[in-house]
Amino acid sequence: MSTSTKFAGFALGLVALFGIALGVGSLAGSPGSEPETHDTAAPDTGTPAGPGGLTDSAGGYTLVVADPITEAWRDATLRFRIEDSTGRPVVRYTTEHEKDLHLILVRRDMTGYQHLHPTLGADGTWSTPVNLGRAGDYRVFADFVTADGQPFTLGTDLRVAGRYAPQPLAAPATIATVDGYRVDLNGTLAAGRSTELTLAVSRDGQPVTDLQPYLGAYGHLVALRAADLGYLHVHPAGHPGDGTTPAGPGVQFAVTAPGTGDYRLFFEFRHAGTVHRAELTVPVAPGTGTGTAQPAPEPTEPGHGH
C-alpha cells in the first residue's frame, strides 16, 4: 500500500495576552546556589544572549546527523556526531548534569518531546534509541560542554517520512496534571529580563516535599520558542544536599525570555523513582503582566521518558 509522504516545517509564533499554559506528558540542572541559564551557543560573555540551537554550527563545532531523512519507526536509533572545524569527531567533553551530552528531540509542532542521553562510541559517533513513530519534521538539539569548558547547543532538522498531521499549540493554562500529580506554575515571563518561575508539585491534594534528585537537581526546565524553536536550558536555584534547598514542593528557576511570542516549557521532576514531565505554553509580551488561564485538558498522547 502506498503512503503519501509529506515533509513540513511547522512553527508557531503568536504575540499574545499575558498568561501561562500547560499541556502535559509523562517523563525530569546543575548544582549551584544561584540560578543558572545554559542558553547560549558560545561562552558566556556577561551579556544577555539569544536562545541556542538555531544553527547546526557554532564556534567551530558542527552537529551532523547520520540519516537526516528517515522512515517512521517507534524503535529507531538516532546516530550523530559533533565535528570540530577540521571535520574530525569530538571525543572529549566536560560532564554537565552528570552526562557528557544531553539530546533533545521534538517535532516542530512541539509534540513528541524526548530528553535522551546517548552513548558515545570509540569513533566519536553518538547513538540512542528514539521514538519516531509519528511522521513530521523534528528538531534535534545537542546540548554539551567542550573539554575546555565552553557550553554549546547546536540544532539541526530530522525529517520523518509519512502522513503529517501537525497539532496546534496548547491553550493557555497555569495548572497541569500528569500521572496523578498536579503542577502549578507561578510567575509571569517578560521579554528581555530575568523573571522567577516556581513550579510546585502536589499529589492527592498534598504538596510533594520529597522530590528526588535527577541529573543533579530537583527539576529541569527546557524552553523552546515556538516561532523558530530557539532553545533555552534553565537550571534551578540551589541543589540537593546543600542544606538549604528544599526537596519540593516548589522548584525555582530564573528565566530570561529573549523576545516576545509563545514559548513551550518542558518541566521534568522525579518522584518515587519515576521521572515525569509537564509541558507549558507561555505567551510572552513586553514588560510584566498578569493573565487568567484555565487548567489544560488531559493530554491525548503519552509523553516519552528518558
Kindly list the domain boundaries of the chain, sorted by start residue: 21-39+168-284, 57-161
pLDDT at 295: 44
Convert the pLDDT of each residue in 46-88 to its tens digit: 333 578 999 999 999 999 999 999 999 999 999 999 999 999 9
pLDDT at 49: 55
CATH architecture of the domain with residue range 57-161: Sandwich (2.60)
The CA-CA-CA angle for residues 129, 131, 135, to 5°, reads 135
12 - beta bridge partners?
Answer: none
Instruction: Please report, rounded to a whole number, the percentage of residues in the chain having pLDDT higher than 90.
Output: 69
CATH top class, domain 21-39+168-284: mainly beta
pLDDT at 14: 30
Q: Is 60 exceeded by the pLDDT of residue 113?
A: yes
Q: Running DSSP on this structure, what letter comes out for residue 99?
A: B
* Greater pLDDT, 242 or 304: 242
pLDDT at 117: 97
Convert the pLDDT of each residue in 147-200 to its tens digit: 999 999 999 999 999 999 999 999 877 888 899 999 999 999 989 889 999 999
CB 218 within 8 A of CB 211: yes
For residues 221-236, average pLDDT: 93
The C-alpha atoms of residue 240 and residue 249 are separated, in whole angstroms, by: 13
* Greater pLDDT, 16 or 109: 109
What are the angstrom distances between the C-alpha of 209 and each of 31, 123, 200, 205, 281? Answer: 19, 44, 10, 12, 25
> Same topology for domains 21-39+168-284 and 57-161, yes or no?
yes
Residue type, 286: P
198-212, 232-246, 275-289: segment of lowest average pLDDT: 275-289
> Dihedral of CA 44/48/53/55: which sign?
negative
For residues 26-33, average pLDDT: 36
Q: Is 80 exceeded by the pLDDT of residue 303?
A: no
In this structure, the dihedral spanned by the alpha carbons of residues 246, 248, 254 and 255, taken in order and rounded to 10 degrees, is 160
Nearest residue to 211 via CA among 185, 241, 187: 241
pLDDT at 268: 97
pLDDT at 25: 45
The C-alpha atoms of residue 44 and residue 246 are separated, in whole angstroms, by: 29
Q: Which residues of 137-153 are buried (b: 16+ CB within 10 A; e: fewer)?
A: bbbbbbbbbbeeebbbb
pLDDT at 287: 55
For the ranges 37-41, 67-71, 173-177, 232-236, the maximum mean pLDDT occurs at: 67-71
Average pLDDT, the chain: 82
pLDDT at 293: 38
pLDDT at 288: 44
